[in-house]
């Protein structure tokens, strides 16, 4: 049976994680040392799944108004429901000085599969492999897709979902786009957190 998101039934977090269906709970349950809104984004340097070359956050941020870090997956139906939206957002905002990067932290999804997925979906942004979930842990990322917006100073100004529904006809709010519009306009992000939902990141 195919499950739809977000769920209308209530699950304990333990049960949700076990089922691979979780909601990012926000700053109140951040792991020790995890990134918070208003704090510096953790640095990273990871291998590009297509080219194999190292890509760092500092290089991505160079000269950009904002950088979007997206934790994504190859097999998650929720993450895949957002593939086209991620492409469209990247194309729209890259022209306005925003960098995008995808990070795959799933231990169950090998690099070759990630590379094929990247190419097949025409992602206009690099996708990096987070071996050992090191960066997912630093960001306290739990689901795919889950996004972070980092401003020109390297500070996290948004954490959460792309929008409110995997089903396009049910989309009413656009958390990620709204955050980017604010950053580009030099304004504070009105709603810096919006619970992410999707499949749990498969840690080792």
Domain ranges of the chain: 13-26+36-200
From first to last of its 204 residues, what are the pLDDT tens digits of the chain? 343 333 332 333 333 433 344 454 333 334 445 689 999 999 999 999 999 999 999 999 999 999 999 999 999 999 999 999 999 999 999 999 999 999 999 999 999 999 999 999 999 999 999 999 999 999 999 999 999 999 999 999 999 999 999 999 999 999 999 999 999 999 999 999 999 999 999 998
> What is the pTM (predicted TM-score) of this model?
0.85
Neighbours of 147 (CB within 10 A): 26
Domain 13-26+36-200 carries which CATH code?
3.40.30.10
The Cα–Cα gap between 77 and 197 comes to 12
- Would you say 20 and 143 are in contact if contact means Cβ atoms under 8 Å apart? no
């Amino acid at each position: 049976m195919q499950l739809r998101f977000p769920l209308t039934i209530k699950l304990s977090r333990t049960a949700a994680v076990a089922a691979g269906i979780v909601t990012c709970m926000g700053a109140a349950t951040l792991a020790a040392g995890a990134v918070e809104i208003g704090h510096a984004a953790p640095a990273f340097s990871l291998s590009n799944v297509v080219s194999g070359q190292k890509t760092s956050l500092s290089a991505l941020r160079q000269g950009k108004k904002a950088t979007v870090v997206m934790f994504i997956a190859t097999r998650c139906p929720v993450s895949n429901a957002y593939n086209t939206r991620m492409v469209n957002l990247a194309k729209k905002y890259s022209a306005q000085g925003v960098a995008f990067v995808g990070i795959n932290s799933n231990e169950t999804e090998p690099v070759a599969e990630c590379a094929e997925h990247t190419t097949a979906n025409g992602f206009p942004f690099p996708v990096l492999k987070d071996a050992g979930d090191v960066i997912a842990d630093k960001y306290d990322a739990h689901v795919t897709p889950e996004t972070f917006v980092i401003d020109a100073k390297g500070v996290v100004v948004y954490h959460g979902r792309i929008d409110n529904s995997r089903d396009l006809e049910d989309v009413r709010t656009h958390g990620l786009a709204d955050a980017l519009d604010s950053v580009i306009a030099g304004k504070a992000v009105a709603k810096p957190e919006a619970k992410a939902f999707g499949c749990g990141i498969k840690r080792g």
